[in-house]
């Protein structure tokens, strides 16, 4: 009689402090102490975090940063399939948000392996809360392109975005980035630059994009998250052009409803666009 197969383990995504150690949750501490494998963006930083929290780590560490992420997935899947608990942590905040993680989650989902998450600190939601702007609806855009021309085009795609826009930026590029944002989105568009969140020198600077660009020109340090208010200007919509974009997506294999939802963002309701596409097809 063959031995029964072991039950699958699980992948646990865990949010880590973005600055203040006191933000480490009891569940994070328990996970770091008991996980069989800790997949870390920077193993040295995660070891230091565990040490600072006074934790004894029994599992073994595996580096899991951008350049090795894809190569590490098969062995981590094998660990989970064999019954191990794999903890995925990044340097700060939540995995998968401009950090490694989503490819491993997708691989686990495809393989039918359990995935769960320990909620934790996030610079995105912290900056939104501190911004003082209407943020009941928002979009997260990651990092802007590094070159000015590409960055202006990037902002150009967000000109009519009605939701608050949140993104990260490096301190040595923030002044030029804000100047480009002011030029493309409008000098008077309100924004907030949040830096060193939860740390000793935390600062949330609020004002118009032109005011913030002038302030940043003097030099800004630390990890930065920017929140820009959504557009309140009426949007001129070319419905025929939207329908053409939907048709292009459908021809490429995207489902009609999904194509309408994608194209409608920041323009019209997806239901209205869907009905417009159906009406156009009748003609």
DSSP string, the chain: -PPPPPPP-EEEEE-B-SS-GGG--HHHHHHHHH-SEEEESSHHHHHHHHHHTT----SEEEE--TTTHHHHHHHHHHHHHTT-EEEEE-SSB-TTSSSS-HHHHHHHHHHT--EEEE----HHHHHHHHS-S--SSEEE--PPPSSHHHHHHHHHTTTT--SEEEEEE-TTTHHHHHHHHHHHH-TT-EEEEEESTTSTT-EEEEEEHHHHHHHHTT---S-EEEEEPPP-SPPP--HHHHHHHHHHHHHTT--HHHHHHHHHTTTS-HHHHHHHHHHHHH-
Which residue in 203, 24, 224, 55 sits closest to 121, CA to CA? Answer: 24
pTM score, whole prediction: 0.78
pLDDT in tens, the chain (283 residues): 344 455 689 999 999 999 999 999 999 999 999 999 999 999 999 999 999 999 999 999 999 998 999 999 999 999 999 999 999 999 999 998 878 899 999 999 999 999 999 999 999 999 999 999 999 999 999 999 999 999 998 998 898 899 999 999 999 999 999 999 999 999 999 999 999 999 999 999 999 999 999 999 999 999 999 999 999 876 667 889 999 999 999 999 999 999 998 888 756 778 889 999 998 998 7
Contact 117, 13 (CB under 8 A): yes
């Amino acid at each position: 009689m063959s031995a029964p197969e072991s039950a699958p383990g699980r992948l646990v995504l865990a949010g880590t402090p973005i600055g203040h150690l006191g933000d480490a949750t009891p569940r994070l501490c328990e996970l770091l102490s008991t996980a069989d494998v800790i997949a870390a963006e920077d193993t040295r930083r995660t070891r230091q975090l565990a040490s600072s929290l006074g934790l004894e780590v029994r599992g073994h560490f595996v580096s899991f940063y951008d350049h090795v992420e894809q190569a590490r997935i098969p062995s981590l899947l094998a660990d989970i399939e064999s019954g191990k608990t794999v903890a995925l942590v990044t340097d700060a905040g939540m995995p998968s948000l401009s950090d490694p993680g989503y490819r491993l989650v997708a691989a686990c989902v495809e393989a039918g392996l359990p995935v769960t998450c320990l909620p934790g600190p996030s610079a995105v939601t912290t900056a939104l809360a501190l911004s003082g702007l209407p943020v009941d609806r928002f979009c997260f855009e990651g990092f802007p392109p590094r070159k000015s021309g590409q960055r202006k085009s990037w902002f150009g795609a967000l000109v009519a975005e009605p939701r608050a826009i949140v993104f990260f930026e490096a301190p040595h590029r923030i002044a030029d980035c804000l100047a480009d944002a002011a030029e493309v989105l409008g000098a008077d568009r309100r924004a907030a630059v949040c830096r060193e969140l939860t740390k000793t020198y935390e600062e949330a600077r609020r004002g118009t994009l032109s005011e913030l660009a002038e302030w940043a020109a003097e030099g800004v340090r630390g990890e930065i998250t920017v929140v820009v208010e959504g557009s309140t200007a009426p949007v001129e919509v070319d419905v025929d052009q939207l329908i053409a974009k939907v048709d292009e997506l459908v021809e490429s294999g995207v489902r009609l409803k999904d194509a309408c939802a994608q194209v409608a963002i920041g323009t019209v309701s997806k239901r209205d666009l869907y009905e417009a596409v159906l009406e156009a097809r009748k003609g």
